Amino acid sequence: MTGILVPISLFLGAFAMVFGIRYLSNKEKMAMIERGIDPGVSRSTPKPFLSLKFGLLLVGLGIGLLVALFTVRSTFGSDMTHTEEGQAVAIYFGCIGIFGGIGLIVSYVIEKKWLDKESLK
């Protein structure tokens, strides 16, 4: 009996969630129309530096992986034991985080300089 109630309740819950989201979205759009606001404008704001941010993030991740690879090879050499493999994984993830963050910071600096230059025009 329980085996059939779980899928039914999951299906009904998912249906209620989708219906509720669509209902509330429609109510929000109708309220915006009543106030004279175009409901399509607010959701389509451009994000000009999004591809730059993801590109710099991926470049940072790639550089981080390469630095981690060379760090592990120079630290542990070619004959690694099981304990040293765990330390190597920590070095990999640490370098990924560091260089990914550096990529995002560089993206912020580039965007800030561009916005400052545009505001002076």
Q: Which pLDDT belongs to residue 83?
A: 59
**pLDDT at 54 > cutoff 60:** yes
Q: Which residue has the tokens 């070619």?
A: 78
pLDDT (mean) for 60-81: 75
Predicted confidence at residue 20, as pLDDT, reads: 94
Domain coverage including residue 13: 1-45
Which of 13-17, 37-41, 72-76, 113-117 ranks highest by mean pLDDT? 13-17
Q: Supply 11's token pair.
A: 């299906």
**What b-and-e string marks burial along 36-68, b requiring 16 or more CB atoms within 10 Å of the CB?**
eeeeeeeeeeeeebeebbeebbeebbebbeebb
Identity of the amino acid at 104: L
- Is the pTM of the predicted complex or chain greater than 0.85? no
Are residues 105 and 54 part of one domain? yes
- pLDDT interval class at 11 (50, 70, 90): very high
> Do 41 and 55 fall within a single domain?
no
